[in-house]
Amino acid sequence: MVGTSAAPLAGPAATVVRGFRPGDAPAILSEMLAALERGEYEGMERYQLEHAAERLAPDPASSAVAVVSGRVAGWVIPADDDLHVVPECRRQGVGRLLVEAGRRVAAAQGHERLRLWVPRRPGAEAFARACGLAHTSSLWQMRLPAAGMEALAEPEFPPGAAVRPFRLGIDEGPFVALVNRIFLDHPSPIALREEEVRRVHATPGFDPSTILIVEDAASGAMVGFCRAHPFTAADGTPAGEIRLLGVDRPWRGRGLGRAVTAWGVAELRRRGARFVLLAVEGANERAFSLYADLGFGLGVEWPHWTAAALADA
């Protein structure tokens, strides 16, 4: 296990890979933002990196940190597909140690594989190959410009569907069950934990009206959702992201996916967004063609490479 006390992985030049400690967060965020400036987080927004860094302390077992001569030299955060080594510590074996640590974190989190985002750059791909990772799929960013937002009609929900905003403190249990059911056999499986969702919802400024819940009007069961997130782009433009949406299997093929996506766009438009982003797995052809049909265009590709998770003997 990669823990704060259990045998850390030691490499050359006084490199130690260990569990995350709360004091690591500022150094990690500052290097994330420097890497964003250098163009190494292509397609990512500043607020996404800030959220990633904020999520580390409440869940220290979700990441591992490389330390060289007492300073943070890199990290791996499997839940965010992120592995990074600071430029001055590259080509010293730090990344290789972080892949090992990431494989253990992934196993400890119940995953069969470690998945990492590997940009289409020769160095990064050579590194991934050298560490035994292989390309398995790609996540694509899609973007709906202002004109496309204006052109999109208000959502039309299929008969028998009732919509309402998320109820904080009440909906978390059934919501987590719904999301996990929907994403069970997805190309990028998601396994939410209820305490994680409650923690995010308890953060100051969290607005539950950015989550739409769809119920089967007859039974009251939750059958779909959409989570929209307004943000400000690097150049100051108000924008929005559709973070996640899904429709339960029995309700697929009735226009509910189209309706919840249109709701997300309309909601973000009401909040002033001038463009909308979302991310979709390339292998998810249904979702891909739905978003394209709604006017979303192709943006950045985030290739995913994976290796087997490594359970402790």
Ligand X SMILES: CC(C)(COP(=O)(O)OP(=O)(O)OC[C@H]1O[C@@H](n2cnc3c(N)ncnc32)[C@H](O)[C@@H]1OP(=O)(O)O)[C@@H](O)C(=O)NCCC(=O)NCCS
Q: Would you tell me the crossing angle of helices 285-293 and 256-270 to the nearest 10 degrees? A: 50
Q: Is 174 exposed, middle or buried (0-12, 13-18, 19+ CB in 10 A)?
A: middle
CB 36 within 8 Å of CB 83: no
Which residues, other chains included, contact 73 with Cβ-Cβ below 8 Å and sequence gap of 6+?
A: 15, 66, 67, 85, 86, 89, 94
Q: Would you tell me the crossing angle of helices 46-56 and 25-37 to the nearest 10 degrees? A: 160
46-85: contacts with ligand X (CB under 6 A): 83-85
Closest CA to 31 of 21, 22, 41: 41
Distances in whole angstroms, Cα of residue 80 to Cα of each of 58, 83, 221, 304: 15, 9, 30, 11
158: DSSP letter:
P
Q: Does 114 bind ligand X (CB under 6 A)?
A: no
- Tell me the closest approach of the beta carbon of residue 138 to ligand X, in angstroms: 14
Q: Does 119 bind ligand X (CB under 6 A)?
A: yes
Q: Are strands 276-281 and 238-247 parallel, antiparallel or unpaired?
A: parallel
Tokens at 270, concatenated:
């009401």
Contact region with ligand X (CB under 6 A), list: 17-25, 115-123, 170-178, 217-225: 115-123
| Nearest CB to ligand X, comparing residues 124 and 211 | 124
- Tell me the closest approach of the beta carbon of residue 2 to ligand X, in angstroms: 16
Question: From CA 68, how far away is CA 15, in angstroms rounded?
Answer: 5
Q: Does 173 bind ligand X (CB under 6 A)?
A: no
| Nearest CB to ligand X, comparing residues 129 and 193 | 129
Phi/psi at 116 (5° precision): -130, 150
23-42: contacts with ligand X (CB under 6 A): 40
- Tell me the closest approach of the beta carbon of residue 72 to ligand X, in angstroms: 12
Binding residue for ligand X (CB under 6 A) from 34, 130, 202, 298? 130
Contact region with ligand X (CB under 6 A), list: 2-10, 23-31, 120-128, 166-174: 120-128
Contact region with ligand X (CB under 6 A), list: 116-124, 156-164, 208-216, 237-245: 116-124
| Nearest CB to ligand X, comparing residues 119 and 238 | 119
Binding residue for ligand X (CB under 6 A) from 116, 211, 228, 287? 116
- Tell me the closest approach of the beta carbon of residue 45 to ligand X, in angstroms: 17
Number of residues counted as binding ligand X (CB under 6 A)? 20
- Which alpha helices (H) appear in 225-281, and where do they start and end? 256-270
Binding residue for ligand X (CB under 6 A) from 53, 64, 79, 118? 118
| Nearest CB to ligand X, comparing residues 15 and 261 | 15
| Nearest CB to ligand X, comparing residues 216 and 301 | 301
Residue ranges that bind ligand X, judged by CB under 6 A: 40, 83-85, 90-96, 116, 118-119, 123-124, 126-128, 130
